[in-house]
C-alpha cells in the first residue's frame, strides 16, 4: 500500500511539473510573438511616406498634380510633419497599437484619427476618420515614383 502511495505522489508531481512547463511555454511563445511585432510596426512607421494612390472599393486612383510630392513623416519623438497640396503642417501623434490607429494633433489643436490598414517596410495604407473620405484607403510608399 505504501508503495502505491509513493508511486501516486511521483505521478502527480510529474503531471504538475509537465503542466507548469506547458503553461510557461505558452506564455513565452505568446509574449515573444506579440511584443516584437508591435515594436517592429512602430519602428517601420517612423519614416517619410510619400503619397502614392487612393483606393475606393478596390479601384486605385492616381493623385492629382497638386498632390505630387505630398508626404507624411512620423518621427521617433512622436511628432509629425506632413505636406498636403503644397501646405506643410506639423504636430504630435499618439500611436495606439491595440486599436491600430494614430491620433494626430496639429499645432492648432485639431485632432485626426488615422487607422493603419497595412504597414510594411515599403508601404503604408491608412484610412482617415474624416466624414467625406472615411471609405478611402490612402496609399503611401517610401519613395517617390
pLDDT, tens digit, for every residue of 94-145? 999 888 999 999 999 999 999 999 999 999 999 999 988 889 999 999 976 5
Q: Are residues 41 and 81 in the same domain?
A: no
Q: Are residues 40 and 95 in the same domain?
A: no
Distances, alpha carbon 109 to alpha carbons 7, 36, 83, 84, 126, in Å: 71, 32, 17, 18, 21
Q: How far apart are CA 52 and CA 72, in angstroms?
A: 12
Which set of grid coordinates corresponds to residue 35? 511584443
65: domain CATH number is: 2.40.128.270
Q: Give the residue numbers spanning the domain of 38.
A: 1-45
- Which residues 6+ apart lie within 8 Å of 107 measured at CB? 89, 90, 91
Q: Are residues 53 and 117 in the same domain?
A: yes
- Which residues 6+ apart lie within 8 Å of 92 measured at CB? 78, 79, 80, 104, 105
Overall number of domains in the chain: 2
Q: Are residues 73 and 135 in the same domain?
A: yes
Distances, alpha carbon 2 to alpha carbons 10, 12, 16, 135, in Å: 12, 15, 21, 73
Q: Are residues 19 and 65 in the same domain?
A: no
Q: pLDDT digit string (tens) for 69-102? A: 999 999 999 999 999 998 999 999 999 988 899 9
Q: Are residues 53 and 85 in the same domain?
A: yes
Q: Are residues 27 and 71 in the same domain?
A: no
Average pLDDT for 58-65: 92
Q: Are residues 58 and 107 in the same domain?
A: yes
Which set of grid coordinates corresponds to residue 110? 485639431
Q: Are residues 77 and 10 in the same domain?
A: no
Q: Are residues 70 and 136 in the same domain?
A: yes
Q: Are residues 99 and 119 in the same domain?
A: yes
Q: Are residues 22 and 91 in the same domain?
A: no
Taking Cα atoms as reference points, which of 104, 110, 85, 132 lies closest to residue 45?
A: 104
Phi, psi dihedrals of residue 121, rounded to the nearest 5°: -65, -25
Taking Cα atoms as reference points, which of 109, 60, 101, 66 lies closest to residue 86?
A: 66
pTM: 0.70
Amino acid at each position: 500500500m505504501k508503495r502505491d502511495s509513493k508511486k501516486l505522489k511521483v505521478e502527480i508531481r510529474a503531471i504538475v511539473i509537465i503542466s507548469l512547463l506547458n503553461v510557461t511555454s505558452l506564455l513565452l511563445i505568446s509574449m515573444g510573438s506579440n511584443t516584437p511585432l508591435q515594436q517592429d510596426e512602430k519602428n517601420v512607421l517612423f519614416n517619410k511616406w510619400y503619397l502614392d494612390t487612393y483606393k475606393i472599393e478596390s479601384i486605385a486612383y492616381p493623385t492629382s498634380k497638386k498632390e505630387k510630392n505630398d508626404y507624411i513623416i512620423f518621427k521617433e519623438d512622436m511628432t509629425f510633419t506632413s505636406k498636403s497640396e503644397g501646405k506643410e503642417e506639423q504636430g504630435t501623434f499618439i500611436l495606439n497599437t491595440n486599436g491600430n490607429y494614430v491620433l494626430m494633433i496639429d499645432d492648432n489643436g485639431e485632432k485626426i484619427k488615422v487607422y493603419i490598414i497595412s504597414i510594411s517596410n515599403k508601404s503604408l495604407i491608412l484610412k482617415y476618420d474624416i466624414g467625406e473620405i472615411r471609405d478611402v484607403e490612402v496609399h503611401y510608399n517610401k519613395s517617390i515614383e
